[in-house]
Structure 1
Amino acid sequence: MATKKLWLFVLWGLVMASALGVVHTTHQSRVLTAQLEQAQRYRDELRYEQERLLLERGAWSAYSRIEQVAKEKLEMHAPGPSERVLVSKN
């Protein structure tokens, strides 16, 4: 009879350990899922930022923008016929 009680106690302990393992695993799964969602949101924000920066770079490097900056800030102009110099290959 004592061995049956001992086996029952051991089995009960194993069931409790298994239940605690399930609870721990479920909690870890939820934590990792939340971290994954947060990382995916951050990834999406970075993609949006990258697209915005690519558009901005395209706008800043457009020929009309470069020409405008050259004229206004650098006071450059297209050379006239008298300012052109021809250089031969030889």
Structure 2
Amino acid sequence: MAAAGGNRWLLTALWMLLMVSALGVVHTTQQSRALTAKLEQAQRHRDELRYEQERLLLERGAWSAYSRIEQVAREELNMRAPTPAERVLVTPDKR
């Protein structure tokens, strides 16, 4: 009879360990799914930032193009290229 009680206790302990293990698997699976979703969201955000960076680099290139600078100088600053009569040649001072 004592052996039957010991077997019953062992069976109960094994059943409890099995349940704890099953709950651990469920928890780990849920956590894995949540982290995978976060990873995908972070990757989408990274892709959006890369797209925006490329767009901004193109825009910076367009704004710094010589034709754009010349247009702003003429239209907004009323600048123009000097005529040959207005040009002054500066020579180095020879001492």
User: Could you state the TM-score of these two structures normalised by the residue count of structure 2?
Assistant: 0.92
Distance in 2 (CA, whole Å) between partners of 1:16 and 1:43 is 40
Between structure 1 and structure 2, the one with the greater Rg is 2
Q: Are 2:50 and 1:50 equivalent residues in the alignment? A: no
Listed as ranges, the matches of 1:4-83 within 5 Å are 4-83=7-86
Aligned residue number for residue 90 of structure 2 = 87
User: What whole-Å deviation, never above 9, does each CA across 1:22-71 have from its counterpart, x for those lacking one?
Assistant: 00000000000000000000000001101110111111111100000000
Identity of matched residues, %: 72
User: Could you state the TM-score of these two structures normalised by the residue count of structure 1?
Assistant: 0.97
Aligned length: 90
The RMSD of aligned alpha carbons is 0.6
Unaligned runs of 5+ in 1: none
| Ranges of 4+ aligned residues in structure 1 off by more than 3 Å | none
Unaligned runs of 5+ in 2: none
Distance in 1 (CA, whole Å) between partners of 2:28 and 2:5 is 34
